Structure 1
Amino acid sequence: MELSQIGRDEVMSILRKVGDLCPRRISVYLIGGGAMALRGEKDATRDLDLVLESQEDAAVIKKAFEGVGFIVDARRPDECHALVDAAILSKPAGLRADIFVGKVCGKLRFSEGMKKRASLVDKFGKVTLFMCSREDIFLLKSVTERSRDLDDMMSLFRRGLQRDIILRECDLQTELAGFRESHIWEAFLLVKIEEMEKRYGIGIPWKRSLKSRAEIKMGAHRILKEIDRGYLSVGKLTEAMKETPTFMRKCVGYLEEIGEIRVDRKTRPYRVTMKK
């Protein structure tokens, strides 16, 4: 059976009906293909990806979607097994609404920066609908595993993206999670960008900058592990990791900048300690 796809007018119609059923005021943030359809950046979508700010708001929206004919789908689609934190609702023909609370795919946090960059669409009953910026949708799609997301990322890239917004958000995500616990978001993004270049035969002008940032953060993670193993000087760390002094300076400098380590430059060789 062919899966349903809906365009801008149908997205608005569904969300208007959902808003009419909500008993209290709620802010809803539309990400992914639904937001792209509203902007006219793609003709149709079969997913409505929504971010809510609390479990209570999510429960209200879930009930409203059920009121317009969506049902909870306990069987997670294979291509979306990463969506572990989403309440997935679907209609029989395959149109789906994924409801996230605070995080997307259990990975990226829906940050204050994302909220500020989101633009107001309209108010539907008690629901105030916002749609996320192109830059944030591009980043969010880099952590999903839907095959068609690469096409959406390409469409967003062709319409123009502000690189600095994406890179700053990667840093913010690291800060929110804490460096030791954080994923290296630049690495996720780099993988998708390399796939885009291969599939579409293009060149991403800021790939080199992204790759450098990913490598420095990966190197910084390795340094922390080596410090835990007892390597407490920059020289010993360089030997243990078999990296160039230039690269090590960048990694050590990054860890100092984010407050993870302290370097005593009065000693020879420089001594490294963890900040508590």
Structure 2
Amino acid sequence: MGAVTREMIIAEFHLLEEKAKLLNLEPIRVYLIGGGNMALRGLKSATKDIDIVVTNRGQSSLLEALLETPVPKLPVYLRQYRSQWDYDLGMSVRYIHPLHGFNLDVFVKRVLNKLHLSGDIVSRAEVPEGFESHEFFEVYLVSKEDIFLFKSVTSMERVRDVEDLIALVETGLDYEIVIQEIENQLSKDESLRHIIPLMMHRVDLLMQQIGAVKGLMHLKEYLREICGELYE
């Protein structure tokens, strides 16, 4: 599996805008989470894969057409798999780039059966510099706080995942936004309470690496309170 640099992501997304225009597709809006988001923010030079979320079935179908329809001299992404729960919220599809070999993972509304792309996450998202002119393939970056939250519950404790979380902490996060979004997610889906111990473990791991950051300590106290409620 190949790595994808910031420059490659920019080039590929501009090609997808051109392709969507040629196909005369309705506008597709994608929300970047994870390493692709961090690369476009300049927080890392390259990532192993690009993770994007779309909001509904219609957007998923449009994106599928964009990625898989052949157009001369423009990329056709190769589908590796699609999750068995077709078109339910939380469906995921993995593509691989035919030349560069990196993965493009697409999620519909919910990521890995965990966090939802909530209205608040959408409202905090912003268009990265250089993509303001896109009309057919619209690119949005979820906030740094929301990347931190996604990575806290989906990372696999690989070295690069820990490094990404540290890089996000070092930018200076607003942990009240993180806590408010956790509250928001739990208020809409009680089943997500099972991710709280996982988040606590991630925070402990981070504090072992970088010390007692005030915001992380505040987040840990909040998570500890939630964990206490779980076992009352």
**8 Å contact from structure 1 (residues 142, 192) kept in 2:** yes
Deviations 1:96-128 (A, max 9, x none): 111111111110011111111111132434122
Correspondence for 1:159 among 163, 171, 184: 171
Change (3 A) 1:222 1:174: same
- Per-residue deviation at 1:158? 0.9
Change (3 A) 1:217 1:184: farther
Structure-2 residue corresponding to 1:104: 111
- Per-residue deviation at 1:88? 0.6
**8 Å contact from structure 2 (residues 127, 141) kept in 1:** yes
Rounded Cα–Cα distance in structure 2 between residues aligned with 1:218 and 1:164: 18
Residue identity in the other structure for 1:166: V
**8 Å contact from structure 1 (residues 186, 211) kept in 2:** no
Q: TM-score, normalised by structure 1?
A: 0.70
Residue identity in the other structure for 2:123: K
Structure-2 residue corresponding to 1:20: 18
Rounded Cα–Cα distance in structure 2 between residues aligned with 1:212 and 1:197: 13
Residue identity in the other structure for 1:87: V
Change (3 A) 1:128 1:103: same
SS at structure 2 position matched to 1:187: helix
**Paired-residue identity, %:** 26
- Per-residue deviation at 1:91? 2.8
Structure 1 vs Structure 2 CA RMSD: 2.2
Deviations 1:109-164 (A, max 9, x none): 11111111111132434122111111000000011134222211111111111111
Structure-2 residue corresponding to 1:194: 204
Structure 1 runs (4+) deviating above 4 angstroms are none
- Per-residue deviation at 1:75? 9.5
- Per-residue deviation at 1:54? 0.8
Q: Pick the structure with greater CA Rg.
A: 1
Deviations 1:70-100 (A, max 9, x none): 2111399xxxxxxx74211113554011111
Change (3 A) 1:124 1:8: same
Deviations 1:15-37 (A, max 9, x none): 12222233111211111111111
Moved more, 31-40 or 205-214: 205-214
**8 Å contact from structure 1 (residues 170, 186) kept in 2:** no
Change (3 A) 1:155 1:64: same
Rounded Cα–Cα distance in structure 1 between residues aligned with 2:57 and 2:82: 21
Q: TM-score, normalised by structure 2?
A: 0.82
Rounded Cα–Cα distance in structure 2 between residues aligned with 1:59 and 1:27: 12
Unmatched segments (≥5 aa) in structure 1 = 77-83, 224-276
Unmatched segments (≥5 aa) in structure 2 = 70-74, 84-89
Specify which structure has the bigger relative contact order, considering alpha-carbon pairs within 8 angstroms and separated by 6 or more residues.
2
Paired residues for 1:1-276 under 5 Å:
3-22=1-20, 23-67=25-69, 68-74=75-81, 85-91=91-97, 94-121=101-128, 122=131, 123-146=133-156, 147=158, 148-178=160-190, 181-198=191-208, 200-223=209-232
Rounded Cα–Cα distance in structure 2 between residues aligned with 1:222 and 1:159: 34
